[in-house]
């Protein structure tokens, strides 16, 4: 009987976000995809979401894997597991899917490595994913897989390459039978000579896993700002929440440092109960809290944790749903650029909102010469309310007050030059330097100066003017 193959892909295979990539491999007997999601607490595969979607489109069973760096440290292992879980949730890996611990560091002691792997895999399992342990057969002395399996139920995905050149099938005589719980064997890193990892699925863990009832799930539905208040909303329900009567929303950094926690009361979510009838408690699974947006959060990617616990302080025995909150967002638009004839001014208006502007409260506009790469002028901008922007960009800090207008001095020396407008928020009220955040709009050619030529009728509004005949019926007008 021919067993199904599985490919594992990462950022080195950006082409795996296209349907035809998986169509080609499907014709060669591939029925599963294992997508690299994350590494340590500092890397996420930039193509991961697209690779997952493309593989699913071609009917592949999709799994994810996390490349670990925790080196036998159980607390770091839990932090990395939460990072992987948040990444899986944000990239659309279905609940109940396999989430692999990729353990390849040839360091540390067998006992501590084993306990750290168990901590990672049990965290993944508690979040509603299926844990699998991956490593090389030659590293078996650095971990005790039988103990890992006993405490987590994880299957083993083992790597061993008996042939280094391009192969099209596994040589089963060289199967690394180091455990009775091997679910798959990665037999080559050069399948069909195309320098891609391939495995043979021995148990169906990556290709034929029976659809399980979904008994745990959640989602971070929205994040919105109102002044310095940041409202976080979503839902979380789990069969493991029984007996855990306290509910919290916790914000942490990606490496696990806690920033804030709020004890919340869950609210009704009939939509969740209807969509996920097998999840206990789905009908009352809504989470919501308003956090103070602080300097520690600015420019960071945080983890939002929805938690059920038996401890009034929010610790104790708990079950979590972890999602990703990106506070590195900016959005802007230059609505108009026009010259004002009676003032010799260049008037610009638009809007700029950014998560980075919490402590940079003074708005400036800079006129920049794009060819000479030098600043031409700098002015303080007038700020305005933009409810239209807030409606579209609720999740970007400062959107409601993001409007700006300003007038640069403008004369014939600027006509035709390649100019740029830079919108800036600064901590320096007078000069616009200090700590600041900028948005560079696209370059434009300085517009022509308006001319009143005496041949056309032009209406302008002024406070006062002086008129003087020059000669031959021509009149010079000076406006104020």
- What average pLDDT does the chain have? 92
Check residue 480 and give its pLDDT: 60
Check residue 128 and give its pLDDT: 87
Check residue 233 and give its pLDDT: 97
Does pLDDT of 410 surpass 90? yes
Residue 360 CA neighbour count, 13 Å, CB half:
24
Q: Where along the chain do its domains lie?
A: 5-201, 216-326, 330-445
Check residue 442 and give its pLDDT: 96
Q: How far is residue 134's CA from residue 258's CA, in Å, rounded to a whole number? A: 30
User: What percent of the chain shows pLDDT beyond 70?
Assistant: 93
Q: With respect to CATH, is domain 5-201 assigned 3.40.47.10?
A: no
Question: Average pLDDT of 148-171?
Answer: 93
Do 5-201 and 216-326 show the same overall fold? no
Query: CA end-to-end span of the chain, whole Å?
Result: 92
Check residue 343 and give its pLDDT: 73
**Residue 110 corresponds to which tokens in the numbers above?**
């067998």
**Range scoring the smallest mean pLDDT among 122-126, 324-328, 358-362, 462-466:** 462-466
Does pLDDT of 461 surpass 60? no
Check residue 275 and give its pLDDT: 87
Alpha helices, DSSP H, located in 192-351: 270-275
Reduced 3-state DSSP string for 348-365: EEEEEEEHHHCCCCEEEE
DSSP 4-40: PEEEEE-TT-GGGGSHHHHHHHHTTTEEEEEEEEEET
Q: How far is residue 15's CA from residue 294's CA, in Å, rounded to a whole number? A: 40
Does pLDDT of 315 surpass 90? yes
**Range scoring the smallest mean pLDDT among 112-126, 226-240, 388-402, 466-480:** 466-480
Domain 330-445 CATH class label: mainly beta
Question: Average pLDDT of 346-358?
Answer: 97
Q: With respect to CATH, is domain 216-326 assigned 2.30.29?
A: no
Q: Are 4 and 31 in contact (CB under 8 A)?
A: yes
Check residue 476 and give its pLDDT: 67
pLDDT digits (tens, 9 = 90+) for 277-289: 989 999 999 999 9
Alpha helices, DSSP H, located in 134-248: 145-152
Q: Within 10 Å of residue 61's Cβ, how many Cβ atoms?
A: 22
pLDDT digits (tens, 9 = 90+) for 60-102: 999 999 999 999 999 999 999 999 999 999 999 988 899 999 9
Q: What number of residues does the chain have?
A: 480
Backbone angles phi, psi at 431, to 5 degrees: -105, -15
- What DSSP designation does 189 have? S
Please compute Rg for the chain using Cα positions. 30
């Amino acid at each position: 009987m021919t067993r199904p193959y599985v490919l594992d892909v990462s950022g080195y295979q950006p082409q795996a976000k296209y349907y035809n990539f998986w169509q080609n491999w499907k014709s060669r007997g591939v029925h599963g995809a294992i997508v690299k999601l994350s590494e340590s607490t500092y890397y996420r595969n930039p193509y991961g979401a697209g690779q997952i979607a493309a593989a699913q489109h071609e009917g592949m069973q999709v799994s994810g894997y996390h490349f670990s760096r925790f080196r036998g440290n159980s607390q770091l292992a839990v932090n990395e597991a939460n990072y992987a879980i948040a990444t899986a949730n944000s990239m659309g890996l279905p609940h109940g899917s396999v989430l692999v611990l990729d353990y390849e560091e040839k360091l540390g002691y067998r006992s501590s490595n084993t306990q750290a792997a168990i901590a990672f895999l049990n965290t993944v399992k508690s979040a509603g994913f299926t844990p699998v342990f991956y490593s090389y057969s030659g590293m078996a002395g650095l971990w005790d897989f039988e103990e890992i399996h006993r405490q987590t139920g994880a299957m083993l995905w083992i790597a061993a390459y008996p042939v280094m050149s391009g192969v099209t099938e596994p040589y089963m005589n060289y199967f690394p039978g180091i455990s009775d719980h091997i679910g798959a064997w990665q037999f080559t890193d050069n399948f069909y000579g195309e320098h891609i990892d391939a495995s043979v699925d021995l148990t169906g863990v990556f290709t034929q896993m029976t659809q399980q009832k979904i008994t745990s799930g959640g989602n971070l539905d929205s994040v919105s700002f109102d002044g310095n208040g940041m409202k976080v909303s979503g839902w979380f329900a789990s069969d493991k929440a029984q007996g855990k009567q306290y509910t919290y929303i916790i914000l942490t950094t990606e490496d696990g440092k806690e920033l804030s926690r709020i004890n919340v009361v869950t609210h009704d979510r009939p939509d969740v109960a209807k969509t996920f009838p097998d999840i206990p408690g789905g009908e009352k699974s809504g989470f919501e809290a308003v956090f103070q947006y602080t300097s520690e959060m600015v420019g960071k990617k945080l983890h939002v944790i929805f938690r059920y616990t038996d401890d009034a302080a929010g610790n104790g025995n708990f079950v979590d749903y972890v999602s990703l909150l990106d506070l590195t967002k900016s959005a802007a638009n230059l609505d108009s650029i026009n010259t004002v004839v009676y003032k010799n001014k260049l008037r610009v208006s638009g809007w700029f909102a950014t998560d980075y502007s919490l402590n940079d409260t003074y708005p400036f506009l800079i006129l920049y010469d794009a060819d000479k790469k030098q600043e031409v002028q700098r002015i303080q901008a007038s700020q305005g309310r933009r409810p239209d922007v807030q409606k579209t960009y609720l999740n970007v800090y400062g959107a409601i007050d993001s409007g700006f207008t300003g007038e640069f001095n403008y004369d014939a020396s600027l006509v035709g030059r390649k100019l740029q407008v830079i919108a800036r928020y600064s901590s320096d009220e007078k000069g616009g330097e200090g700590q600041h955040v900028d948005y560079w709009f696209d370059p434009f050619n300085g517009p022509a100066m308006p001319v009143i030529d005496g041949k056309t009728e032009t209406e302008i509004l002024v406070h006062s003017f002086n008129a003087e005949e020059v000669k031959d019926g021509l009149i010079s007008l000076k406006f104020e």
